[in-house]
Structure 1
């Protein structure tokens, strides 16, 4: 092949005399038929040749990737000749394929470790406005809450939470669960060290279960805009 500085074939004016017969031969071969179904030939005039060439479907491939081809230089519109892989590179590729299952497992483990955040050491966390509308989201959200063994300040505002009774927050001192869907104190998580608890704008109707907070060092409790505000002796209790 003789290439000019622009990358075009200098013999472009001398089109192979057997183009028509060669095109019919390629169209009959199974490999050409498979490639012709996947690729559409569009005539281009950037190289001065307007006719469709049988080599168009190969022009974006390196030659060592084409198993069977019989294309001559005079049939190429813009040759892209590249050297095939060396023997060492082929050997390395074969060894890599042999170790692929083990390598895939290691890469998956590494990716999971990288994506995993260290929730166990978190002390201050705001997980508000999560828009938990799918059961999958709720399950993963609860999984994160179970790992918060050292969190001291936690905000869970407007998450459409219904029941966190299966969650334990052993170190939590400040918990804000405003604007959720709690209906009872029994749906609260286990918070033995709680000092400031805010449950405003929920759906708590009665004070049943309030006794569970008597064993805690609770200092403030916010229950604004809950139905229980209209219960008799609400302030006293």
Structure 2
């Protein structure tokens, strides 16, 4: 597979339900899509050069000038190898040592070739939503991919059942969408030194603990709707007090009553 010379583009905000036409229509349509600039979404949609490949694994494409950073919602939920499944089942049958060693070398070589084709490091705008990560192997592989996104600026991770991203650092990410996951604490977020728009709606976040880690970031828009933490007393005032640069919370701009001050004995020390 040759490496594409086209720039990295973002993905569509919609996801078709049918996968039957993924290999048809070899022509690429580049029709401009609508741009979502709502303050609480923090997401921008622009055309994708290879929408017909959106549900195809990047290293399974043959004779196509497309790389992993051009796929909309590419499949990263590859399952365990047959050898790993064999070991999990506790089968006592021993494979012949020579053939097993040869097979392992071939698999490692193929795995290395696949990783070279992934090209995640060059992704600027990427959608890895709806991955259906049901196996621990798939979750580990997903975290491995996230750690390689050193240049990504806009990232969508919607509905992936994610529970902990604290081991991930996204140094250039400005817009991150973690809508509908299983986060229970803000300390489970990735390191986001440059984030400006962050969507955490429909998770299970129950407290503001760890919010102080975002205080040094240029965060301007935060969405915590449909989280238990929104029922906290003086919720909005506490969030704005901890994040002085924040302009919009849950889709509502900062209001005069959000500038409430607290006694020195209770000033946010419990959430930093």
TM-score range normalised by the length of the shorter chain? 0.5 to 0.7
How far apart are the structure 2 equivalents of 1:125 and 1:167?
A: 16
Q: Residues 195 and 134 from structure 1, CA distance in 2 versus in 1: closer, same or farther, beyond 3 angstroms? A: same
Could you tell me which residue of structure 2 aligns to residue 145 of structure 1? 146
Could you tell me which residue of structure 2 aligns to residue 219 of structure 1? 220
Gaps in structure 2 of 5+ consecutive residues:
1-100, 239-272
SS at match of 1:235: helix
What are the residue-to-residue correspondences of 1:1-237 with 2, within 5 Å? 109=109, 112-114=112-114, 116-237=117-238
Could you tell me which residue of structure 2 aligns to residue 42 of structure 1? none
Gaps in structure 1 of 5+ consecutive residues:
1-100
How far apart are the structure 2 equivalents of 1:196 and 1:142?
A: 21
Residue 132 of structure 1 and its aligned partner are, at CA, apart by 0.7
How far apart are the structure 2 equivalents of 1:233 and 1:111?
A: 51
Runs of 4+ in structure 1 off by over 3 angstroms are: 104-112
How far apart are the structure 2 equivalents of 1:105 and 1:190?
A: 35
Count, aligned residues: 136
Q: What RMSD in Å do the two structures reach over aligned CA positions?
A: 2.1
Q: Residues 111 and 191 from structure 1, CA distance in 2 versus in 1: closer, same or farther, beyond 3 angstroms? A: closer
Structure showing greater radius of gyration is: 1
Residue 156 of structure 1 and its aligned partner are, at CA, apart by 0.3
SS at match of 1:154: strand
Structure showing greater relative contact order (alpha-carbon pairs closer than 8 Å, 6 or more residues apart)? 2
TM-score by length of 2: 0.47
Deviations 1:159-200 (Å, cap 9, x if unpaired)? 000000010000100000000000111000001000000000
How far apart are the structure 2 equivalents of 1:141 and 1:107?
A: 19
How far apart are the structure 1 equivalents of 2:111 and 2:143?
A: 22
TM-score by length of 1: 0.54
